[in-house]
Amino acid sequence: MTGMSSAAPQTDDEARVDLTRHKWPDAVRFIPYWGDLYWEGLDGERVLLLGESHYRKEGLSDSLEVTRPFTQDHFREMASPVRSGRHGPFFKALDLVLVGQQDFDLQEAADSWKRVAFMNLSQSLAGSQANHRPRNEALREGGDVLVRDILPVLKPTVVLVLGRMTWWFLSHGRREPALSPFIAKEVNRKSGRRRYVEERDVWSLDYKGGSALMTWVYHPSWNVDTWRDRSAALRHLIALSKRD
């Protein structure tokens, strides 16, 4: 039709958001962590590590003043080789996911953390101890916030879900049967009467302006997946995303 022009599609550079200036809606109670080189990505892919929930100290409130900086305050130090309080097994497990080798120094881990993002699905604090579970509804609602308010800003191409419960309650996305599933070759296949899953489907997670490939691993605090399998799951997603 004469007199009308169609806008050219945004390039990847033009679509990038200045994350430091972004105005998050109140539903985003925990602003995600992202590294300074997030837009450059890990092996060229924008990676989001998606955990379950944060735990409160006794007496800590759920006010936005408390929750908004919580994730960034806890994970910003991961992008530094000098860490004052991030030496526990959970944080080392995350380092191993990113670095992909057992013998690494903290500078290697820090360099990887500069290229990824991290957040937890629940947008409310859980109990005061790691064995306190978030409410199921908090995880469901967190999935809605993730897809509606966070993914269109971070624009990840790869999402690794850290925990089977988090995966269960993330009621978004669709299974991609044409894509090779991830096979956890070293999974602890049986513990007592419980059998653990080796084959994890790859799903696509669509959001406004983009889509990511995702799969899951057992929570790093569980003795089910080895660090090699957790890291391999991330590399599997990256390889599939590059192939698209």
pLDDT for 16-66, tens place per residue? 878 989 999 999 999 999 999 999 999 999 999 999 988 766 555 678 888
Of 161 and 129, more confident: 161
- Which residues on neighbouring strands pair with residue 174, listed in sequence order? 204
Q: What is the pLDDT of residue 2?
A: 36
- pLDDT value, residue 4: 37
Residue 11 has pLDDT above 70, yes or no: no
Q: Is the pLDDT of residue 134 over 70?
A: no
Give 60-84 pLDDT, tens digit per residue.
Answer: 567 888 889 999 998 999 999 988 7
What average pLDDT score do residues 184-194 get?
72
Is 33-243 CATH 3.10.520.10?
Answer: no
Among 58-67, 145-154, 166-175, name the one with the lowest average pLDDT.
Answer: 58-67
pLDDT for the residue 3? 41
The three-state secondary structure class of 9 is coil
What mean pLDDT comes out for the span 135-147?
Answer: 88
Backbone angles phi, psi at 9, to 5 degrees: -60, 150
Amino acid (one-letter) located at 100? G
Rounded-to-integer distance, Cα 2 and Cα 174, Å: 40
Which DSSP symbol is given to 124?
S
Q: Is the pLDDT of residue 8 over 50?
A: no
What's the CA gap between 212 and 202, in Å, rounded? Answer: 10
Strand partners, 202: none
**Backbone angles phi and psi of 206, in degrees to 5:** -85, 145
Check whether 133 has a pLDDT greater than 80: no
Tokens standing for 22?
């972004």
Per-residue model confidence (pLDDT) at position 86 = 60
Amino acid identity for residue 40 in this structure? E
Q: Using an 8 Å Cβ cutoff, are 236 and 176 in contact? A: no
* Distance between CA atoms of residues 52 and 12, nearest Å: 29
Q: Note the pLDDT of residue 199.
A: 96
End-to-end CA distance of the chain: 34
Q: Tokens 């897809």 sit at which residue?
A: 147
Burial 156-166 (b: 16+ CB within 10 A, else e): bbbbbbbbbbb
